[in-house]
Amino acid sequence: MTTIIEPRALPAPRGELSEAIVRLLAGASVTVPPSAAADPYGEDLHLALHTCYELHYQGFDTVDDAWEWDPELLRVRADLERIFLDALRAEAAGGIDIETELGQLLVEPPEPAGVAAYLARDGEWSQLREYFALRSIYHHKEADPYAWVIPRLRGQAKASLVAVEFDEFGGGRGERVHARLFADLLAGAGMDPAYLHYLDRAPAPMLAVVNMMSLFGLHRALRGALVGHFATVEITSPPGARHMVEALRRFDADPACVLFYTEHIEADAVHEQVMRRDVIGDLLARQPDLTESVVFGIQATNLLEERFAEHVLGCWRAGHSALRAHS
């Protein structure tokens, strides 16, 4: 049985924005500098944003819970969110053709080019472990942000999304919660399973994916985007999970490593149909004005996952780690 220890300390800053926020949460009297010129995909902005969002999740051992709704910190977070969201909207193609967007997610190219496919064909065990460390920032929160959209839905869309979430949270069994299964995977790979243990090693392209989930989840105005994001994850998960199983079996990996991905092959194949037909279908039948937002959620997810894959594969093909160096 894997023991998941309590949340980690505040992260190491990566620039003046994240340094100011970390120092503020640590009790220092500081002024957060203007964020207008910050890189919307940069290390500093995304660590700053991730640190703000973490107050709505497990939090930090040394940070007072009252910071979660501090008006000044929320103002700073809103500025960071605006920069990030504006960049995503500028890159996304937009539109209202939901059927085309969903249909494209179902098409896997004859020669898949993603990280999981690379690991299945050419990956080394050290690269698999790097990938686990990187994705742990996402999987430690797996399914949590989607719970925020539940009170914002009605009817069949609500009931069906809750059914998918029930599976993500282990069907009522704590040891089957997907975040717990990933912690077991880390332990099986000889890695530290603690919550956000690898945060300081995770680069901005990974943080951006997780920050997008939190951004969509925390804002009612972005509920359609969150549903689009969730559907994208569920539809595209099974092919990637199959590639990961192939990679793990090449190295005769611990059964806990394989189990995490076989679970996603089976569960997400069903979730795909539920998300497309019962969640998105019912939501847009009730609120067709959310179509553009759902499409945006799909496109934004693809954009950020592609940026993440380009970072990882670019590093590996250049012969160096995809993880950030130790601070």
Q: Going from the N-terminus, what domains does the chain have, and what CATH number goes with each?
A: 16-90 (no CATH), 96-317 (1.20.910.10)
pLDDT tens digits, 268-325: 677 888 999 999 999 999 999 999 999 999 999 999 999 999 999 999 999 999 999 8
Cβ-based neighbours of 100, under 8 Å, separated by 6 or more: none
Q: What are the respective helix, strand and coil percentages of the chain, to the nearest 5?
A: 70, 0, 30
In angstroms, the CA 273 to CA 231 distance is: 9
Q: Which of 283, 304, 279 is closest to 292 using CA atoms?
A: 283
pLDDT along the chain (327 residues), means of 10: 61 97 94 92 98 97 95 96 98 95 82 87 96 97 95 97 93 92 97 96 98 98 98 90 95 96 79 91 97 98 97 96 87
Whether the Cβ atoms of residue 148 and residue 158 lie closer than 8 Å to each other:
no
In angstroms, the CA 121 to CA 110 distance is: 14
pLDDT tens digits, 93-111: 999 999 999 999 887 766 6
Largest CA distance in the chain: 56
Residue with tokens 């990679």: 247
Question: pTM of the predicted model, to two decimals?
Answer: 0.94
In three state form, how does the secondary structure of 147-158 look?
Answer: HHHHHHCCHHHH
